[in-house]
Structure 1
Amino acid sequence: MKHYQGYLVDLDGTMYKGEAAVDGASHFIDHLIGLQVPFLFLTNNSSRTQDQIAAKLNKLGVKARPDQVYTSSLATADFIKEKKEQARVYVIGEEGLHKALTDRGHTLVEEDADFVVIGIDREISYTKLARACLEVRKGAGFVSTNSDTAIPTDKGMLPGNGALTSVVAVSTGVDPTFVGKPEPIIMERALKELQLQADHVLMVGDNYHTDILAGMKAGVDTLMVETGLSSFHEIEAHTHQPTYKKLNLHEWLNGHKG
């Protein structure tokens, strides 16, 4: 079995579910730390900061530093910075997205924006969406942190950022650039953070349609675990399969020591 120089690790469904750690998560990360193998926690969650996510992981017994967390918000801010330094951005989103954009030197504005950026916003309003539409119609670039149309919660599946983004896309007729998994943009930037080539890295996740497809699109080997959204039965008819399929991370560690 191939040995990898770095890992990209999904969070929800792979490291934790809600407020509980997934069985084997802490052991898996301890194993990587023991081998001194670099890794990044890679998430489409745009609402939380690196500090907040690392704090949650540590609280659940999974060792994490803030700089080991790479979110769709950070990837979005980096993507915009490559297009324009110190861009004017109209943003729909929460703290994680606001901080990522300002930390990268962008200015948050209400009008005359260079870019409109949409992330999950649980205080979404018609006024916010209308402002976004007006700015896109005036020529602002249209970027969305991720295309997830629904997100799992304790209450069930709730509208995701892709659903919010679709309102602006349908109204303006302008397709957004999606940054998060399964798009290659976030993968390219995560690999840059690790300073590794795609064929030396393994993407670990539970969701075939985000984590696994992201790896496939980026030329990264993939490990799918059955601890979250997707099941092996669901994907058995798919032409493209994960590089590895394991019930959980314990099973991966038992057969793989690097």
Structure 2
Amino acid sequence: MNNIGGLLIDLDGTLYHGRHMIPDADKLIAALRKAEIPFLFVTNNSSRTAASVAAHLREMGIDANPEEVCTSSLAAARYVAEESPGAAVAIIGEEGLLQACTEAGLTIVTEKPQYVVQGIDRSFTYESLARASRWIREGARFVLTNPDVMLPSDDGITPGAGTLAAAIEAASGVPPVVIGKPESHLVAYATSLLGIKPEEAVMVGDNMRTDISAGAHAGCRTVLVLTGLTTRDNLEDYQRLTGVKPDEICADLAELMVLLGV
């Protein structure tokens, strides 16, 4: 694969499963550094700060720095800040989203927001739902970090940010602006951080519905790795469901390194 301006690399299912590194993930990152190929870790996870994501990777033996992490919270905060600098924002989310919005110069409020910015919030309550839907009905813009309906956890599958957003949308009658994968905002933000055009970037991920779809929607080349959600058995179904096809398919990360020539 030639003329790579930078790689956008998914995390869960691509470089690790939960707390366990996928084979050769550490070697891939080391090889990219040696070859001086720019990259970012691009994740829909809105709960963690960039520093905590990088720390999680390092704990597994994958070399990572906070400035190499691009989360849906960072992209959502940038989206609002560019549209309305210093806007009054109500946060429904966790540390990663709160920090991102604060660092983007937004004003965090608990009444009369211009925006309701929502991510995963494991302390979400009926009162949260009532307040958010009221604000949105009164004219606040509804911005969703990522549409993931379900998330894996140590206790099995749990509701994600998309599940909470569905309740808020039902109560307010207003759909959100979606920032994370499969929409293109997160990928466009990541390419801007690398200083490259989307067509110069390569999106690498294991999920046809999020990673590959987002890359395709943003105009990037895409590489599907069969290390997580998508398999040879379900690939055709996912292609039919999403209406997109990856530019390249690699069985594992060792095969990806061969494809990249690193």
Offset at 1:3? Answer: 4.0
**SS of residue paired to 2:234:** helix
Please name the residue that 1:248 is paired with.
252
Offset at 1:240? Answer: 2.5
Cα distance in 2, alignment partners of residues 153 and 106 from structure 1: 31
Cα deviation per residue 1:106-161 (whole Å; 9 max; x = unaligned)?
Answer: 11111110100110011111111111011101100000001111112233321111
Q: Kindly provide the amino acid, as one letter, of the partner of residue 40 in structure 1.
A: L
Offset at 1:186? Answer: 0.9
Does residue 197 of the first structure (1) align with residue 197 of the second (2)?
yes
TM-score (norm 2): 0.95
Offset at 1:253? Answer: 1.4
Offset at 1:176? Answer: 0.5
Please, which runs of 5 or more residues in structure 2 have no aligned partner?
none
Aligned-residue identity in percent: 42
**SS of residue paired to 2:12:** coil
Q: Kindly provide the amino acid, as one letter, of the partner of residue 13 in structure 1.
A: G
Please name the residue that 1:14 is paired with.
14
Cα distance in 2, alignment partners of residues 219 and 50 from structure 1: 25
Please name the residue that 1:142 is paired with.
142
Moved over 4 A (4+): none
Offset at 1:201? Answer: 1.1
Matches within 5 A, 1:31-180: 31-180=31-180
Alignment CA distance shift 1:256-1:102 (3 Å)? closer
Cα distance in 2, alignment partners of residues 226 and 124 from structure 1: 34
Q: Kindly provide the amino acid, as one letter, of the partner of residue 254 in structure 2.
A: H
**SS of residue paired to 1:34:** helix
Cα deviation per residue 1:188-223 (whole Å; 9 max; x = unaligned)?
Answer: 111100101122111011111000000110111111
**SS of residue paired to 2:204:** strand
Matches within 5 A, 1:224-243: 224-237=224-237, 238=239, 239-243=243-247
CA RMSD of superposed structures (Å): 1.2
**SS of residue paired to 2:170:** helix
Cα distance in 2, alignment partners of residues 156 and 205 from structure 1: 22
Cα distance in 2, alignment partners of residues 149 and 67 from structure 1: 27
Please name the residue that 1:2 is paired with.
2
Please name the residue that 1:206 is paired with.
206
Offset at 1:230? Answer: 1.6
Alignment CA distance shift 1:167-1:255 (3 Å)? closer
Cα distance in 2, alignment partners of residues 140 and 5 from structure 1: 38
Cα distance in 1, alignment partners of residues 194 and 153 from structure 2: 30
TM-score (norm 1): 0.97
Cα deviation per residue 1:45-75 (whole Å; 9 max; x = unaligned)?
Answer: 0000011011111111111110000000000
Offset at 1:2? Answer: 2.6
Cα distance in 1, alignment partners of residues 156 and 249 from structure 2: 26
Please, which runs of 5 or more residues in structure 1 have no aligned partner?
none
Cα distance in 2, alignment partners of residues 50 and 256 from structure 1: 26
Cα distance in 1, alignment partners of residues 56 and 244 from structure 2: 33
**SS of residue paired to 1:232:** coil
Offset at 1:250? Answer: 0.6
Offset at 1:241? Answer: 1.4
Cα distance in 2, alignment partners of residues 82 and 240 from structure 1: 30
